[in-house]
Structure 1
Amino acid sequence: MVEMSPPTNRDQSYDTILEKLYTLRTHGVKLGLERMQKLLYLIENPEKGFQSVIVAGTNGKGSTCAILASLIAKHGLKVGLFTSPHLEEFNERIVVNGERIPREEVLLGLHKILGCSKLLEEQGYGHPTFFEVTTALAFWYFKRMGVDLAVLEVGLGGRLDATNVVNPAVAVITNIGMDHQEYLGDTIEKITREKAGIIKNGCSVVCSAQDSCARTMIRDICRDKGCDLVVVGEDVWCEPLEHSLTTQSFNYHGLKNRIKGLDIPLIGEHQLLNAATALATLELLEKRFFINIDPKLVRKGLLETRCPGRLELVWKNPPVMLDCAHNPQAAKYLAKTMKKVGEDYDDLIIVFGVLRDKDIPGILQSLLPITKKIVLTKPNADRAAEPNEVLSAIPKHVSSNKKIVVHQGVREALHEAFRMAKANSLILVTGSVYLVGEARAHLLNHPEPQTKISDPLL
């Protein structure tokens, strides 16, 4: 174990130590568990101090984690929530019972963890990555706070992800699609095998993957490892009722529980899939944690779920929605939802920015048919695609029928979208977590005037 002296007034400030943490991004993605296990050993294995639920998947895992953490907290447990990436502030990633990790705890924890980095290098393990250090910080803080249970969102894949050092009470696999093929493989089968690496012998498993091949593989893995499996859509499901621009209602048909007339402030059929996944996981945790599932607490937990950047309405006149869809599967679900909610509007204006390493044509394939007005922009990220790169991915016979405007800056792109908007227009900002975070910061930092159409950026 390594003993580190606590930071003093002369040590790094919060901003300075975060800058040091962000420099670790230069190490890129280094999948594998050995270095992470050694790092955790050096900080006294905090991950062994609490039970966990680990959630992997291509899409839906962040929302599922947020819903589940809210449900668990309402039933009286102290729950840690670890998600990534963040939209605006680093400490969004690490939360206990709805409260972000304080800055002073980030400073204290990172001082301890980063202090172990040199020793890891000296012992031949290499320098820990940004995500490994951040995951270790979450584990350290959860142990320090005495959480009963941690809900952990996998960063990339599953089998070799830094979060996969725990022995979970429940392993959850959400929808699986094509993304990060350079790390996970170029077929659904290869990607599924990587994500199913979170399944440990004898743990319970919840699966909401819609691909039949992925479901079959997960069934086989659960059988081989002696795991109980709950399949969303077969064993449990949500029956949709009504929806608006901000909420939807449904009936839950669970393993033992049947609860009618539930509401959640997340829209889209895919969010009902995520809600059913979270509720099924709650049912599996019931015996282990002596939870008595109470429909009133379920209602409250669902209503108080917050998933910023997931079809989030952040402006009303005209309505502006933000969504982090950044792969073809997510774009497909987004387009399906926007067709429904857009029925009450004359036109849809899309502000779009994306990272260069994403499947840009695959994402656009779903989004282009639902709009005639597009503003292309560049998120503030090293891997961001230039707007003209995105423009070149749009076939000419498609672009000729649409109004497409290019703006390098996100603020300018938003301003252009407001300029295009009419009395009954709807604006959607999508394509990248970085774009959504930047747009959200711009929009929410301006109070909305009580006028029919207002541009917050003027």
Structure 2
Amino acid sequence: MSGRPDASQVEAGRRLGVEKRLRQVEMEILGRVPESEIDPSLESVREVMELLGDPQRTFPVIHVTGTNGKTSTTRMVETLLREMGLTTGRFTSPHLHSFRERIAIGGESISAERLIEIYDQVLPVVEIVDARSVAAGGSRLNFFMMSVVLAYAAFADAPVDVAVVEVGLGGTWDATNVADGQVAVVTPVAIDHTRLLGSTVEEIATEKSGIIKASAIAVSSIQDADVASILADRAQEVGARIVFEANDFGVTAREVAVGGQLLSFRGLGGDYAEVFLPLHGEHQASNAATALAAVEAFVGGGEQRLDPGVVREGFAKVTSPGRLEVVRRSPTVLVDAAHNPAGMQALRAALDDSFAFTRLVGVVAIFEDKEPATMLEILEPALEHVVVTRNSSPRSISPRRLGLIAAEIFGEDRVTVVDDLPDALEQAVTIAETDGLGGGVLVTGSIVTAADARMLLGSTQT
């Protein structure tokens, strides 16, 4: 007998090597300064891009910013473009389960092998820029900057026909803004990340308007008047065209349907009737209208109607994990990544709109800096009982403190405090099933809470 390994053993060894190297790469990326620590400068990222040959300029970009709805809208735009036969790149953040989710090519997360190859290609250049920055008293590229570099390099290498890129924070100084979007999308702007973006919606809108570039088409969801004015002023300043939902495009009919909703749209280039969207809530209908207008703007400058069949097929395939997602039945368990008051308002409206539980029990874990009292006040009328807990992030407010806040809003008899999420889920299911069928559980409060719950319930598909 030969002592040489057979083909299956060789392949198993290769996979093991890839997994080991992937863990090393992810640890090195995640070991950089957190993405929440932004540097209000594009100098380092721009320098890396230039040394790499400006890969972000080798493909057109649809750039997406806003406070809520960015990820869902990005995924809708990208799915429609794929349905049209284009090879797409998609960059979103944060991820739910794996870093590789952030960089998708053709609708699939970047493979472990490709991520390793791209990382090894760009690392020497990043290290040169890091060394220069540190020598000048600055810092290395942070985690998010590195993510952007990897995404743009991967998209150029693929190559992709178009990249749909979600902003991380803000716009003007966001690392993604080293690219110039032919289409700039702005989903609803509200108060969030005030430490980083400003304390007023006007300051935040000004920061986000920075993705609108010369000769681009800007596509905006419905905004407060002050926000709309800021976006319009920015478009005029740089010589861009801007269109607004409810003025230039929008939803003309909406009907709740099994598993989602049936929509009709007035687009920039024409009308589209009876389009099924397998997502819940009026906010997702608005996101869909914005996504459709963005694709019309990209493909034909907003001057021509898309193939209605392609639009229907594309929207029917849309997914948005962790966004009012049903992850279990009997009882129904919903997971939603609402993490600020505006997101919680949208969630509350969608619950009223699309679901009818005999009793709904909440499982809530919120970051300490995310206005937990306001979020709980918004959610309170929808819940019969709330189980407060913590998620896996060190930023999560302690269950005891969250419980005290919740008791002021719900009353002590409607609040249960549980130290960890697995036990909190079990307790919520027990309460929901107290009177038999018809109860449900809602898990919400942050993206990390949504990700943790999905993992616990065996739903990791993204």
Q: TM-score normalised to the size of structure 2?
A: 0.90
Deviations 1:101-121 (CA, angstroms, capped at 9, x unpaired)? 000111122223333343223
Shift of 1:347: 0.8
Q: Which residue of 1 aligns with 2:24?
A: 16
Q: Which amino acid aligns with 1:132?
A: M
Deviations 1:353-405 (CA, angstroms, capped at 9, x unpaired)? 11112121221121112112111111101211111221232363x33265211
Trace 1:222-261 onto structure 2 (pairs within 5 A). 222-244=235-257, 246-261=259-274
Q: Which residue of 2 aligns with 1:214?
A: 227
1:436 to 427, 450, 454: 450
2:173 matches 1:160 = yes
* Bigger Cα displacement from structure 2, 207-216 vs 143-152: 207-216
Mapped partners of 2:27, 2:431: distance in 1: 38
Deviations 1:4-45 (CA, angstroms, capped at 9, x unpaired)? xxxx96996101211111111358332321011012223332
Distance 1:65 1:203, change over 3 A: same
**What runs of 5+ residues in structure 1 fail to find an aligned partner?**
1-7, 447-458
Q: Which residue of 2 aligns with 1:425?
A: 439
Asked if the contact 1:377–1:407 (Cα under 8 Å) also holds between the matched residues in 2, the reply is yes
Asked if the contact 2:268–2:302 (Cα under 8 Å) also holds between the matched residues in 1, the reply is no
Asked if the contact 2:259–2:279 (Cα under 8 Å) also holds between the matched residues in 1, the reply is yes
Q: Which residue of 1 aligns with 2:349?
A: 336
Trace 1:172-187 onto structure 2 (pairs within 5 A). 172-187=185-200
Q: Which amino acid aligns with 1:43?
A: L
Asked if the contact 2:399–2:419 (Cα under 8 Å) also holds between the matched residues in 1, the reply is yes
Distance 1:129 1:51, change over 3 A: same
Mapped partners of 1:371, 1:364: distance in 2: 10
Counting aligned pairs with the same residue, the percent is 32
Q: Which residue of 1 aligns with 2:386?
A: 374
2:53 matches 1:44 = yes
2:427 matches 1:413 = no
Q: In structure 1, the residue corresponding to 2:273 is in which secondary structure?
A: strand
Distance 1:182 1:326, change over 3 A: same
Q: Which residue of 1 aligns with 2:395?
A: 383
2:370 matches 1:361 = no
Asked if the contact 1:326–1:432 (Cα under 8 Å) also holds between the matched residues in 2, the reply is yes
Mapped partners of 1:158, 1:402: distance in 2: 44
Asked if the contact 1:245–1:341 (Cα under 8 Å) also holds between the matched residues in 2, the reply is no
2:84 matches 1:75 = yes
Asked if the contact 2:18–2:112 (Cα under 8 Å) also holds between the matched residues in 1, the reply is no
2:295 to 270, 274, 282: 282
What is the root-mean-square deviation in Å for CA atoms of aligned residues?
Answer: 2.1
Q: In structure 2, the residue corresponding to 1:84 is in which secondary structure?
A: coil
Q: Which residue of 2 aligns with 1:101?
A: 110
**What runs of 5+ residues in structure 2 fail to find an aligned partner?**
1-15
Mapped partners of 2:169, 2:79: distance in 1: 23
Asked if the contact 1:255–1:283 (Cα under 8 Å) also holds between the matched residues in 2, the reply is yes
Asked if the contact 2:407–2:415 (Cα under 8 Å) also holds between the matched residues in 1, the reply is no
Mapped partners of 2:292, 2:77: distance in 1: 7
Q: Number of residue pairs matched?
A: 437
Q: TM-score normalised to the size of structure 1?
A: 0.91
Mapped partners of 1:204, 1:64: distance in 2: 16
